[in-house]
Structure 1
Amino acid sequence: MATTKSTPNSNNPIPKKPSSDSVKPAQQDNVEEPPTFGRSAILMLVLALAIYAYQTNVFNLLSNTNVPPRENWEEDVVLSADIPKREEVVEAFKYAWAAYERDAMGNDEYHPLSKKGSNLTDSGGIGYAIIDSIDTMLIMGLEKEYNTARNWVANELSFDHDGNFNTFETTIRVLGGLLTAYHLSDEDPIFLEKAIELADRMLPAFETPTGLPFGMVNLAKREGVDDPNYAGLVSTAEASTLQLELKYLSFLTDNDNYWDKAEGAMKAIKAAALPHGLVPIYLNAQTGQFLVSEIRLGSRGDSFYEYLLKQFLQTGKSESVYLQMYKQAMDSVHSNLVKKGETHKLTYTSELLPERQDGQMTWRLSPKQDHLVCFLAGSLMLGATTTEAIHEKVSVPPRPGQLTLTGQKDWELGVELLKTCVDTYNTATGLAAEIVHFYTSDDGLQAHPERDWYIKGNEIPAQPSYDARYLLRPETVESLFIAYRLTGDEQYRADGWRIFQAIQKYSRLESGGYASLLNVDVVHSIKIDKMETFFMSETLKYLYLLFSESTLLPLDEYVFNTEAHPLPMFTPSTRTSFF
């Protein structure tokens, strides 16, 4: 199973011009037709063509007189930058970084209220906040900040810490950050050297009977470590959200070991998968079996679904197994999880909770949606235009007849989910809660509520619920960025700008940096003393890209890992899928 390195679809500089060597779909072999057909054979052929026409929406193409000529569909639409708004996002990043650099340089995390940093282990940190932010600096063209961060990586960064680091978080933030920094910096070797060292220290996490990784890894000892809070278990999302990073590293180094470990975990997950394609949020790393646990698109489940699509796209659509898994999962999302609000009919996704009644296992639908789920809106729209396009290219926005019936269905769900996610920002602060619940007919409402959703347990302002927090999360602005790139609809920029202004008003601290909020429904909310690394890595990066020209990191040349680190698509020339 050798991996032969070939040229990626994108090389460097930023902004990127569309590549001329984009991946083309495989050509089908020519099949010689038999010289004659019997009556039954002709009828079967006609039936098969009719079924194909229905599935690919050919009838729609033929009947819709407004569909433009095929050649016009391939015109590249370049969306221009909104420079004033983009530059305000840059200033926000510089403000956040300056506070971190002043108070916590080298630490993993930053606490802006107490003006100090902290590390994830007692033995020291590995620069989570720095490495997570480097590619944002490169994308924004911040030379001074970049040089400071790059010098720290070259001269101060050490992975020789006798402490337990989360396998998933370290991969998506640090390994992903190093790999993207390598790509965007014209392949500065220091970033690849550090990425290889880190990956080699982490590979022992995969040494389990099933190939599913331990939840933690000791970087100094190079040992996988069972998470003491979930002994013997691994989060489904965490085990299935390491692949983009390790496969790209394998491509860069011609080292099959990284690739095999990453896909070995996916093989174990697929072997245990349920028929409907949805997955519980916990696996047993020793047996490879799913634990009876919640099925949800939020925490511990979210990025499993995200990476199914992105793994297919990353390798030039060469691994069809991920497309099959993605389609099956999205079909089940439509069938089992999608619901409508009671008053405004907002579309949302529910969770399935396992319950035992009279000795039988049943599943109860819960109208709960994490902010984390909001990634799915953009993902569905991207999936519709890349996996369900009738022709190779789709216009901006897609025109009638360019998508299959499945593609139209996924696109519409993505659009509607994004409306709902934006609506959850309709709070006193204009910022979204960590978790919302939706009213159902079982609530017996006498009057129509102002909102389709509510924050559970948040009735007393002085006693805010856990769900009411705002943690500077990126998922909604991520989907706004993708939606704008795929449609050019200025409403998505307007929504993103309102969110950014609310962040500036309620999370920005006069003393420097940005803080999370304890209660989004209270204007004078208590601040939480933490500025998550993903604020600089994801939230501000996606806002910057939302207001940038569409030639910057184009979606047909890059996949963004779940921490918003853009990795170039590539075509593995000799590897075949193990499935």
Structure 2
Amino acid sequence: MSHRTNGHAKGSMSHRITNILSDDYEELPMYKDKPHYPPSRRKKMYQRRGPQVAIALLLLSFLYYTGYLPSGRSPRPPHTHHHYHHGTPSKDPALWAARADEVRSVFKTTWAGYEKYAWGLDEYHPISKSGRNMVEGGMGWIIVDALDTAILMNLTTEVSRAREWIRTSLHYTADHDVNTFETTIRMLGGLLSAHWLSTTYPHLAPQTDDDVLQPGEDLYIEKATHLADRLLGAFDTPSGIPLASINLNTSLGIPAGDGLSSTAEAATLQLEFKHLSKITGESVYWETSEKVIKVIDDLQPEGGLVPIFMSPQTGTFRGQNIRLGSRGDSYYEYLLKQWLQFRGSEPVYREMWDEVLDGIKRYLVTWTKHGNMTIIGERQNGLNHELTPKMDHLVAFMPGTIALGLTNGTTVEEAKQKGMWTRHQEADLAFAKELMKSFWAMYKGTATGLAPEIAYFHVDSPPRQWSFEEGWTLPQSNTDDFDDVAESTSSSATTSTSAHDHDHDHDTNSHPWKQDLDLHTQDLHNLLRPETVESLFYMYHITQDPIYREWGYEMFQSFVEHAAVRDDITGEVYAYASLDTVDSLDSNGKIRDRDRRDNMESFWPAETLKYFFLLFSELGGEGVAAASSGSVVSGKASSSNVMPFRLEDVVFNTEAHPLPRFDISTSTIWKTGWQRKPRTASPAAAAPGATGEEQVPVGLGVPSSPIDAAVVADGIRKKLADSKDSFEIKHGKIGLDDKVLDERAAASEALGRHQEALAATATVAATMAAGDAEWEDKSWTDGRDVDHPMGTPHEGEPKKVEVQRGGKTERGGGTGQKEGEKIADRDAI
């Protein structure tokens, strides 16, 4: 593994001087890192010494680099992360129930330490056993964010304590600025999720409440509404793009220092605001947040890929930095999830997601030089400039999100049984699997078995690119030796630099993919982030491949071993802290105390531990027994790790707060309030492959060749053979009634050929089984069938629907309400 310093080596004399003379320890990604803490408390002590210490250290630095001082270089420690599985990964339900209980135990330890040393405070400093508020009175930053994890884990006592604090102490009236995005995804999302879980599944962490027949939970929704009303002020800009911050007391938006807003932050508010509209009947949240997506889409970014900054004043992009890491990531995530949230009733978001996935392949994907690992790079100066082979840990959400978009949450096997699994889906699933391996390599390639915040990779020059030519296949990574790496590296305990260098060279030669990792010293920190385990969660529950659980458990054990904070007197673990480096251990294979940071981000209990728990749990059970203590019955999963919902019934916001999916297909109220402008095709889009043929984004759930269409036809024949009566093939709502096969609605021109192939094949199948059939209408349904994992063939311009809004008739959807008008019967929608 190559280490390029790009600066001073950590622990070196110059590095220490940099710490003293600079207020900024190191540059961190700008997303989900707020607030940021210095890596240790030593820095303040040095700063008090004044300029004399700085001069002395400069002199020592000069002596060091001129050779008068001995080298401070330490041999690289052996890898000590564990290797847990040998042979076939385990499918034993009892084993995974026990491992889910391990996660529950770590959560309880985390919660207890926070409750003891920083209860009610927004920030938790576990090493100093302290905390502080970001605003006067606190926002419940950790309590609210972690609440639904406690509910899912059936922790009645913890939930009761949190709920009481929210009831008595949570007020959004402080005269203080807060980040619009972070407050929405953590606080608003947390309250909405707690409301849904506590009302839909009252047996989870049951609470006694005075509200008749309301076990909780007008409290959560009232707090959520009060918060959302204040957040709306951020959207009060000429373009509708929200400002970066909001004053809670005045509800006035506050621009960032440069006046710009992050594209991801502006476009990652919609799940929460639209959910709130649906359950309160207030359309203003939906309409206000939805406008942001229209503003972005009207700019027609090439390949669907957006620069990471926007001007709230003009509604235009600023700069040309294209990446799926910080400032960009969750924009793409929420395109797919908005489509899922309302079960395919807003096809525009699926269309945008499909364009994005095609654009990612075309412009950002490449492969590493030695191990052939698939990576998603960055175009920091625009799509026509060089690709930077760099991945933030934040990008690790992509493998799971791709898989989610292929089946909408059902298993691959279920999707295949419904007869609509095409070679497009198979190719995209292979893409997701290869990408998942690359993020796992970021963990396997360090001393602790934990990934750095950022990784660079060695790639070919120029980087290889995705090909859209017929017959091209996805490169396969040389990472089948993942298991061997942990064994070979953990067994070598070197003490001399020369011996280490020899063993390291042998290790990278034996495992080519390790040569591709190019880790920079300033990027080696770990904030206990969730994105990789998030993708493992989706990959396992969608593919049912137990290897993803095994990887997750190995990762979990590494977190437990290296992030744990122990009491100085008792030696007991009472907290978990961020790490300053993931690639440096002492002679005993342990993280040094000085390499732990005195902070715990709220996403450790809110996201990371939640996804570990759900990864090791079963989904779609009958429910969780309220009295369950988490015991394991031999050969069976414990009821305490069986979730009452199916993956296809929920959508997780970007902070891992689960929200329900709604069916609004028959609603005349809740509709997409905007239409896409006609697309202006770029040269790349018009001729993406050497063949010059039109390329269709994959993952659409439609046949792309007669071979695929034959599979569809076979499925139609089987259904016809089973019944002589009328029936409906849910893919595309194709039905046969009185020997008439009817296609409905309008499809996009880009998919015309493919839809014709399906139509022709379906006609043959119907004719063979039911005699002569005639087409009544030559149009497809607009919008996907929400009951089918693949949806309908995708997708035409949305139908023009006349609605009443603001006292005038408009076309193209919308909520059908005047602004602020409340719907009387929200349950009837």
Regarding TM over 0.5, the answer is yes
1:381 aligns with 2:403: yes
Give the Cα–Cα distance (whole angstroms) in 1 for the partners of residues 423 and 406 of structure 2. Answer: 10
Give the Cα–Cα distance (whole angstroms) in 1 for the partners of residues 520 and 650 of structure 2. Answer: 41
In the alignment, is the contact (CA less than 8 A) between 2:120 and 2:138 conserved in 1?
Answer: yes
1:333 aligns with 2:389: no
Three-state SS of the structure 1 residue aligned to 2:514 is coil
Three-state SS of the structure 1 residue aligned to 2:379 is strand
In the alignment, is the contact (CA less than 8 A) between 2:178 and 2:245 conserved in 1?
Answer: yes
Matches within 5 A, 1:90-129: 90-121=104-135, 123-129=136-142
Give the Cα–Cα distance (whole angstroms) in 1 for the partners of residues 329 and 513 of structure 2. Answer: 29
Give the Cα–Cα distance (whole angstroms) in 2 for the partners of residues 382 and 433 of structure 1. Answer: 25
Specify the alignment match of 2:422 in structure 1: 404
Three-state SS of the structure 2 residue aligned to 1:110 is strand
Give 1:411's aligned amino acid: L
In the alignment, is the contact (CA less than 8 A) between 1:378 and 1:482 conserved in 2?
Answer: yes
In the alignment, is the contact (CA less than 8 A) between 2:459 and 2:516 conserved in 1?
Answer: no
Matches within 5 A, 1:143-222: 143-186=156-199, 188-222=217-251
Per-residue deviation, 1:97:
0.6
1:576 aligns with 2:671: yes
Aligned length: 484
Specify the alignment match of 1:536 in structure 2: 605
In the alignment, is the contact (CA less than 8 A) between 2:375 and 2:435 conserved in 1?
Answer: yes
In the alignment, is the contact (CA less than 8 A) between 2:147 and 2:190 conserved in 1?
Answer: yes
1:421 aligns with 2:432: no
Three-state SS of the structure 1 residue aligned to 2:456 is strand
1:547 aligns with 2:616: yes
Three-state SS of the structure 1 residue aligned to 2:278 is helix
1:504 aligns with 2:560: yes
- Over residues 419-468 of structure 1, what are the superposed CA-to-partner deviations in whole Å (9 max), with x where a residue is unaligned? 1111110110010000000012359999856615434433xxxxxx1x10
Change (3 A) 1:424 1:398: farther
TM-score by length of 2: 0.56
Structure with greater Cα Rg: 2
Give the Cα–Cα distance (whole angstroms) in 2 for the partners of residues 452 and 154 of structure 1. Answer: 54
Give the Cα–Cα distance (whole angstroms) in 2 for the partners of residues 192 and 200 of structure 1. Answer: 12
Give the Cα–Cα distance (whole angstroms) in 2 for the partners of residues 452 and 415 of structure 1. Answer: 21
- Over residues 329-382 of structure 1, what are the superposed CA-to-partner deviations in whole Å (9 max), with x where a residue is unaligned? 000111111111111111111100117xxxxx9422100001100100000011
Change (3 A) 1:129 1:327: same
Give the Cα–Cα distance (whole angstroms) in 1 for the partners of residues 181 and 436 of structure 2. Answer: 27
Per-residue deviation, 1:397:
8.2
Three-state SS of the structure 1 residue aligned to 2:387 is strand
Match of 2:580 among 496, 500, 518: 518
Change (3 A) 1:220 1:353: same
Give the Cα–Cα distance (whole angstroms) in 2 for the partners of residues 179 and 362 of structure 1. Answer: 42
In the alignment, is the contact (CA less than 8 A) between 2:370 and 2:516 conserved in 1?
Answer: no
Per-residue deviation, 1:571:
2.2
Three-state SS of the structure 2 residue aligned to 1:348 is strand
Per-residue deviation, 1:393:
8.0
Specify the alignment match of 1:395 in structure 2: 413
Three-state SS of the structure 2 residue aligned to 1:165 is strand
Give 1:114's aligned amino acid: S
Three-state SS of the structure 1 residue aligned to 2:380 is strand
Matches within 5 A, 1:322-361: 322-354=349-381
In the alignment, is the contact (CA less than 8 A) between 2:415 and 2:421 conserved in 1?
Answer: no
Specify the alignment match of 1:567 in structure 2: 659
In the alignment, is the contact (CA less than 8 A) between 2:265 and 2:327 conserved in 1?
Answer: yes
Three-state SS of the structure 2 residue aligned to 1:559 is strand
Change (3 A) 1:549 1:118: same
In the alignment, is the contact (CA less than 8 A) between 2:305 and 2:356 conserved in 1?
Answer: yes
In the alignment, is the contact (CA less than 8 A) between 1:79 and 1:485 conserved in 2?
Answer: no
CA RMSD of aligned residues (A): 2.4
- Over residues 487-525 of structure 1, what are the superposed CA-to-partner deviations in whole Å (9 max), with x where a residue is unaligned? 111111100000110011000111321011111111224
Give the Cα–Cα distance (whole angstroms) in 1 for the partners of residues 113 and 415 of structure 2. Answer: 40
Specify the alignment match of 1:441 in structure 2: 460
Per-residue deviation, 1:154:
0.4
In the alignment, is the contact (CA less than 8 A) between 1:397 and 1:486 conserved in 2?
Answer: no
Give the Cα–Cα distance (whole angstroms) in 1 for the partners of residues 617 and 411 of structure 2. Answer: 22
In the alignment, is the contact (CA less than 8 A) between 1:474 and 1:539 conserved in 2?
Answer: yes
Give 1:107's aligned amino acid: L
Give the Cα–Cα distance (whole angstroms) in 2 for the partners of residues 81 and 330 of structure 1. Answer: 37
Q: Which runs of 5+ in 2 are unaligned?
A: 1-90, 200-215, 464-504, 568-573, 586-590, 621-642, 676-829
In the alignment, is the contact (CA less than 8 A) between 1:81 and 1:549 conserved in 2?
Answer: no
Q: Which is further off, 178-187 or 324-333?
A: 178-187
Three-state SS of the structure 2 residue aligned to 1:117 is strand
Structure with the bigger RCO (C-alpha within 8 Å, sep 6+) is 1
Specify the alignment match of 1:262 in structure 2: 289
Per-residue deviation, 1:135:
0.3
In the alignment, is the contact (CA less than 8 A) between 2:137 and 2:169 conserved in 1?
Answer: no
Give the Cα–Cα distance (whole angstroms) in 2 for the partners of residues 508 and 480 of structure 1. Answer: 23
In the alignment, is the contact (CA less than 8 A) between 2:458 and 2:518 conserved in 1?
Answer: no
Give the Cα–Cα distance (whole angstroms) in 1 for the partners of residues 411 and 392 of structure 2. Answer: 33
In the alignment, is the contact (CA less than 8 A) between 1:396 and 1:487 conserved in 2?
Answer: no
Give the Cα–Cα distance (whole angstroms) in 2 for the partners of residues 377 and 394 of structure 1. Answer: 15
Specify the alignment match of 2:809 in structure 1: none
Give the Cα–Cα distance (whole angstroms) in 1 for the partners of residues 240 and 324 of structure 2. Answer: 24
